Amino acid sequence: MGSLGSSGQMQLLLPLVFIALMYFVMIAPNQKKQKKWQEMLRQLKTGDTVTTNGGIRGVIISVKDDVVQLRVAPDNIKLEFVKAAIASVTTKDELAGLKG
């Protein structure tokens, strides 16, 4: 009966190990990425060059609560987006690499 008990424990332990592994492989990195993105949104300021989730690139001309106004080239059109639509901030180095 001793070997049967340890086999039953192993059957219970395996799903727990699997769940822990899934957490460290999938959930934890996602949470870290989400926190980094939220911090980036909090730090948005006038003059930042950003890219939206839709691929529109522009320069921030105003930030209010959950709304961001962008100036978009080539005609300097003003567009308004919710902050959550901002995918990334583009640095001057990244812009130079795109143009050159």
pTM: 0.69
Q: What is the dihedral of CA 92, 73, 80, 50, to 10 degrees?
A: -20
Q: Is the confidence at residue 100, as pLDDT, over 60? A: no
Burial class (CB in 10 A: 0-12, 13-18, 19+), 50: buried
Q: What is the CA radius of gyration of the chain?
A: 23
pLDDT digits (tens, 9 = 90+) for 33-65: 999 999 999 999 999 999 999 999 999 999 998
Report yes or no: 87 and 44 within 8 Å, Cβ to Cβ: no
pLDDT band of 2, cuts 50, 70, 90: very low
CATH topology for the 45-100 domain: SH3 type barrels. (2.30.30)
Q: Is the confidence at residue 9, as pLDDT, over 60? A: yes
> Regarding predicted confidence, which is higher, 2 or 64?
64
Q: What span, in angstroms and rounded, lies between the C-alpha atoms of 82 and 93? A: 26
pLDDT band of 7, cuts 50, 70, 90: confident
